[in-house]
Amino acid sequence: MNQSPSPTRRLRWLPYVLGVGLVVALGFGLRPRPAPVETALATSGPLRATVSEEGKTRIKQRYVVSSPVTGQLRRVPFKPGAAIAAGDVVAVIEPMAASPLDPRSRALAEARRDSAVAALEQTRAAHALAINDLKRAQAMFDTGTLAPQDLDAAKIRETVAAREVVAAEGALRAAETELAVNNPAAAPALVEVRAPVAGRVLHVFQESERPVTAGTPLLDAGDPADLEVVIELLSRDGAALAPGARVALEQWGGPKPLDARVRLVEPAAFTKISALGVEEQRVNVVADIITPLTERPTLGDNFRVEARVIVWESEQVLKVPVSALFRRGGESAAYVVRGGRAVLVPVEAGRSSGSEVQVLKGLTAGDEVILYPGDRVSDGQRVQPVKI
């Protein structure tokens, strides 16, 4: 008959059991805990690479209306923003009366007029003769009795004679004007300055009545509805653009961005000092605003906008957040969570949108990558994804 172990023998093994349990408990307690990490999934979707810079609007066709004569400007009745039509009188100038000529100067002016009349008659007669010679040469050429070079010579003589007539007429008008302007009996007629284009007055340089000289700017005019945007980009970014590239205009004052298209990248760059004192080569990129005027009625000339130029875009690429990639040995890499551990994976990166980056090699859609790994994550380390 078997006898059960005595209580004394059972108690003899109890310290060993408790020791083993304690060792196991200490082992689990001292085991490194998984590092909490923020993760994201590699996904497929649209991606666009952009360049953001400040830009300014400007009217495509801006006209500076200047005084055609020297005289007394009458008060300009227009204010900036006033609507004008092509041909409207925007300013009136009373020409300055010329001082009368002395007898000797008048005699010389009359002599120049008489000479101009005689020269005009002479050039008209020469032109009529050249026309007749050309007709005869054409007839002879049609019958095959005149060489082509002789016909060409006759045409050239007729053209030269016609231009001499025009020059003689201009000389006669100049001589007659000199006599008419310096005639004390002739009162100067008022000169009306007219708007060259329909649109709005942008700026009035001379508003009050005052003497002006010929060529003095009076006002600016243009059509505010016909706007373009000038964006100063780094020359390397401008060289990568092509006409037709899309541009989004933000922070212009409206509720949503405006659409624009690049029309021109100017062929000459210029040097500009940045806010940090660094010399930069920049180039002007000109874009046309294609958003309808009804959606931007308050946007005017020389307004500031934030331009986001799209240099590249694709509708379907593999991408991850920029914070998932880091440099390792001169190449890009990322940590992927596999089996509860961080696995170091070399990655070939492509285009970047600033927040996301294209992945060409190394990852597949659905991979869980670690964001902001830093020095706290190493290859093979146990990690615990957390939600932020």
Domain C-terminal end among 158, 181, 204: 181
Helical residues (DSSP H) of the chain, grouped into ranges: 7-30, 103-143, 148-181, 235-239
Q: Are residues 194 and 320 in the same domain?
A: no
Read off the pLDDT of each residue in 370-379 and give the average, rounded to a whole number.
86
Contacts 24+ apart (CB under 8 A), 162-166: 162/127, 162/130, 164/123, 164/126, 164/127, 165/120, 165/123, 165/124, 165/127
Read off the pLDDT of each residue in 295-314 and give the average, rounded to a whole number.
90
pLDDT in tens, 307-339: 999 888 888 999 999 999 998 888 899 999 998
More confident residue, 107 or 60: 60
State the angle between helix axes of 103-143 and 148-181 in degrees (0 to 180), rounded to the nearest 10: 160
Q: For position 337, which CATH number holds?
A: 2.40.420.20
Q: Are residues 79 and 217 in the same domain?
A: yes
Confirm if 203 and 219 have CB atoms less than 8 A apart: yes
Determine which of 66-70, 160-164, 179-183, 254-258 has the lowest per-residue pLDDT on average: 179-183
The reply to whether 196 falls in a domain is: yes
pLDDT, position 12: 63
Scanning the structure block, which residue is given the tokens 């760059």? 269
Q: Are residues 153 and 294 in the same domain?
A: no
pLDDT, position 9: 57
The reply to whether 337 falls in a domain is: yes
Report d(CA 388, CA 383) in Å as an integer. 15
Read off the pLDDT of each residue in 216-240 and give the average, rounded to a whole number.
91
* Residue 27 scores a pLDDT above 60: no
pLDDT, position 274: 84
pLDDT, position 377: 86
Q: Are residues 303 and 229 in the same domain?
A: yes
- CB proximity list for 380: less than 8 A, separation 6 or greater: 341, 342, 343
The reply to whether 335 falls in a domain is: yes
The reply to whether 161 falls in a domain is: yes
Confidence of residue 18 (pLDDT cuts 50, 70, 90): low
Confirm if 113 and 175 have CB atoms less than 8 A apart: yes
Q: For position 260, which CATH number holds?
A: 2.40.30.170
Q: Are residues 244 and 352 in the same domain?
A: no
Q: Are residues 218 and 73 in the same domain?
A: yes
* Residue 81 scores a pLDDT above 60: yes
Q: For position 83, which CATH number holds?
A: 2.40.50.100
Report d(CA 247, CA 265) in Å as an integer. 13
Q: Are residues 310 and 321 in the same domain?
A: no
Average pLDDT, the chain: 85
The reply to whether 18 falls in a domain is: no
* Residue 1 scores a pLDDT above 50: no
Read off the pLDDT of each residue in 64-90 and give the average, rounded to a whole number.
91
Give the structural domain span for 343: 35-46+315-386
The reply to whether 290 falls in a domain is: yes
Confidence of residue 11 (pLDDT cuts 50, 70, 90): low
Report d(CA 275, CA 224) in Å as an integer. 31
Q: Are residues 143 and 281 in the same domain?
A: no
Percentage above 90 pLDDT, the chain: 39
Domain count, the chain: 4
Read off the pLDDT of each residue in 9-31 and give the average, rounded to a whole number.
61
* Burial of 297 from C-beta contacts in 10 A (0-12 / 13-18 / 19+): exposed
* Residue 3 scores a pLDDT above 60: no
pLDDT in tens, 115-159: 989 999 999 999 999 999 889 888 888 888 888 888 888 889 999
The reply to whether 159 falls in a domain is: yes
Confidence of residue 113 (pLDDT cuts 50, 70, 90): confident
Q: Are residues 240 and 286 in the same domain?
A: yes
Q: Are residues 256 and 287 in the same domain?
A: yes
Q: For position 137, which CATH number holds?
A: 1.10.287
Q: Are residues 173 and 205 in the same domain?
A: no
* Residue 187 scores a pLDDT above 80: no
The reply to whether 206 falls in a domain is: yes
* Residue 106 scores a pLDDT above 80: no
Percentage above 70 pLDDT, the chain: 87
Confidence of residue 70 (pLDDT cuts 50, 70, 90): confident
Q: Are residues 270 and 238 in the same domain?
A: yes
